[in-house]
Amino acid sequence: MADFEDEISRGSGSLEDEEKTSFLPRQLRRGWTKPSDQRQPWLWTLLLLNVLVLLCSLVTLFVAFSLRSGPSVGTERNALLKQTSAYSPILDEFDIPLKLVQSKLDFFDNSSIFSQLPSPEVDEAWEKIAPAKRVYLTTEQVIKLGKDPALTVRANNHPDRHIGVLNGMHELHCLNEIRRNLHRDYYWPDGIRSPTHWIHLYHCVDAIKQALTCSGNVDVVTFNWMEMVQEPFFDFSVNRVCRDFDRILEWQTENLGPLETDAWKVGGEVEIPAPPTLRAMNAQDSEARVFTHDDPALTGTIGV
């Protein structure tokens, strides 16, 4: 009995360990240790390697996300808008939210004030969304815009400031000008007398074209079947992600003044040369001309 107990104490110190080694020859039992005692260091090494791999993966994911999003995301005002915009100091002035807009556009519905026939109320609505307001710019900002500060117009009351206007408002003005030309009898009942009328109009057409092609809209318009119509009919109701125009208009109304307030010459300004068309028009008597689509200012034959 004593020999049996002594054999257990030399092996593992417990009856359970003796049972685990009972199938081994007696000479091998004496040097046997727990399997867990042998494998434990390898388990720790494997665990450490897994942790290192996980940390490397997280670092790689973070770096990839940072490179894709750009270093400014989350740290600059309007960082996402700056990625799809050329430099504009306005993007540093206030936050412009993005919002999902469900566009309700019906081909046969002209209930929107902007699609109705001319009236004082319609004109007022258009003037509210496209006011010409003055933006003050520093010389540094003018240079960042790619302009020559020696040529830009400076404010009379603030000679260290240059004057600008939001291009989005100019584009809305152009759209309104195209709309007005659909109703020339209403807006020009005495006929069109301005020598630059057609030049202005087609300048606006080109401005809207450039704005649309720049935005590269890839929203998808689907089709429906409609009674009395043989071909598939457009369903212009689409979802858009838009810059919050109401916020832009609110900021402009609260912070900017009329464009004409202090934009006049005081003497010594550098002038850019007039184009030949303008020189030829100024040399003619505009009151003796009747302007149509054959106007020389439009066809390019003026002064020839």
CA distance 177 to 200: 9
Q: Is the pLDDT of residue 38 over 90?
A: no
What's CA 69's distance to the chain center, in Å? Answer: 14
Is residue 198 included in any domain, yes or no?
A: yes
CB neighbourhood size of 59 (10 A): 10
Phi and psi torsions of 212, nearest 5°: -70, -45
Is residue 189 included in any domain, yes or no?
A: yes
- Full residue range of the structural domain in which residue 189 is found: 79-256
CA distance 98 to 79: 12
Which of 156, 157, 137, 134 lies closest to 147 in space, CA to CA? 137
Is residue 74 classed exposed, middle or buried when 0-12, 13-18 and 19+ CB atoms within 10 A define those classes?
Answer: exposed
The per-residue pLDDT for 223 is 94
Q: Is the pLDDT of residue 142 over 90?
A: yes
Is residue 262 included in any domain, yes or no?
A: no
Q: Is the pLDDT of residue 297 over 90?
A: no
The per-residue pLDDT for 209 is 97
Q: Are 169 and 130 in contact (CB under 8 A)?
A: yes
Q: pLDDT band for position 184 (50/70/90)?
A: very high
The count of structural domains within the chain is: 1
CA distance 215 to 241: 12
Which string of b and e fits 99-108 if b means at least 16 CB within 10 Å?
Answer: eeeeeeeeee
Which of 285, 303, 97, 68 lies closest to 193 in space, CA to CA? 285
Percent of the chain clearing pLDDT 70 (strictly above): 73
Is residue 98 included in any domain, yes or no?
A: yes
More confident residue, 102 or 175: 175
* 65-120 confidence digits (pLDDT tens): 554 444 444 578 999 999 999 999 999 999 999 999 988 888 888 889 999 999 99
Is residue 155 included in any domain, yes or no?
A: yes
Is residue 87 included in any domain, yes or no?
A: yes
The per-residue pLDDT for 48 is 78
* 231-277 confidence digits (pLDDT tens): 999 999 899 999 999 999 999 999 998 877 677 777 778 899 988 87
CA distance 4 to 179: 110
Q: What is the mean pLDDT of residues 265-293?
A: 73
Which secondary structure element, helix H or strand E, spans residue 193, and what is its range?
none
Is residue 176 included in any domain, yes or no?
A: yes
Q: Is the pLDDT of residue 17 over 60?
A: no
